[in-house]
Amino acid sequence: MNDRPTGVELLRAVERFLEQEVVPRLEGPRRYHARVAANLVAIVAREIETEEGQLRSEWERLGGLLGLREPAPALRADLREAVSERTRALAERIRRGDADRGPWREELVRHLRRTVEDKLAVSRPPRFTPEESP
């Protein structure tokens, strides 16, 4: 086990340094990229804190939608891979037209909404102004 500060605490320190010490001293594209960097560090911190719970819940919802019952893998990396596999299977069914209408579509949309909201809780769209949107 590593000593304090935790990984998340270290990332918060880097974020604070970038936002408060670096950004105000830069201009133009560099200033913008420093803000992007601070934002990305904050995303990683939120991901570390929430990923486990989000993946387990996603795994359960996908199992319900696909009628699968095997238990979730214990290791996070395996779980990530397994959720991705189930999502691939889900996407395949959507492409076949299984979700074009009917009650399964409603359950699917609830799952997709929750999954997207989970992703946004981590990425949290930045409040600062990009010099240019994509």
Partner 1 sequence: MGESRPGTAPGLSEGEITERLRDFVAAQSSLAPGEVQVGSLRRLAGGASRELWSLDVELGGTAPARLSLVLRRDPPSRVGESDRGLEFRVLRAAAEAGVPVPRVHWCCSDTTVLGAPFFLMDRLEGETLPRRLLRNPEYAATRAGLAPALGAILARIHTIDASRPELAGLATAGTGVGSALEETRRIAEAARRLAVEPHPVLDLAARWLEERAPAPRRRVLVHGDYRVGNVMFDEGGVRAILDWELAHLGDPVEDLGWLCVRAWRFGNDALPVGGVGTREALVDAYQEAGGAPVDPEALRFWEVCGNFKLALVFITQCRAWLDGVPSLELASLGRRTAEAELELLALMEGAP
| 5 class by beta-carbon count within 10 Å (0-12 exposed, 13-18 middle, 19+ buried) | exposed
User: What are 47's two structure tokens?
Assistant: 């991901």
Q: Do residues 59 and 82 lie in contact, with contact meaning Cβ atoms separated by under 8 Å?
A: yes
Rounded Cα distance between 27 and 64, Å, is: 51
Instruction: Determine if 129 is a binding residue for partner 1 (CB under 8 A).
Output: yes
**Of 8, 14, 22, 36, which one interacts with partner 1 (CB under 8 A)?**
36
Question: Is 71 or 134 the residue whose CB approaches partner 1 more closely?
Answer: 134
State the nearest-atom distance from the C-beta of 57 to partner 1, in Å: 16
**Of 10, 22, 40, 72, which one interacts with partner 1 (CB under 8 A)?**
40
Name the site residues for partner 1 (rule: CB under 8 A).
28-30, 32-33, 36-37, 39-40, 43, 84, 87-88, 90-91, 94-95, 97, 99-100, 108-109, 112-113, 116-117, 119-120, 122-123, 125, 129, 131-134
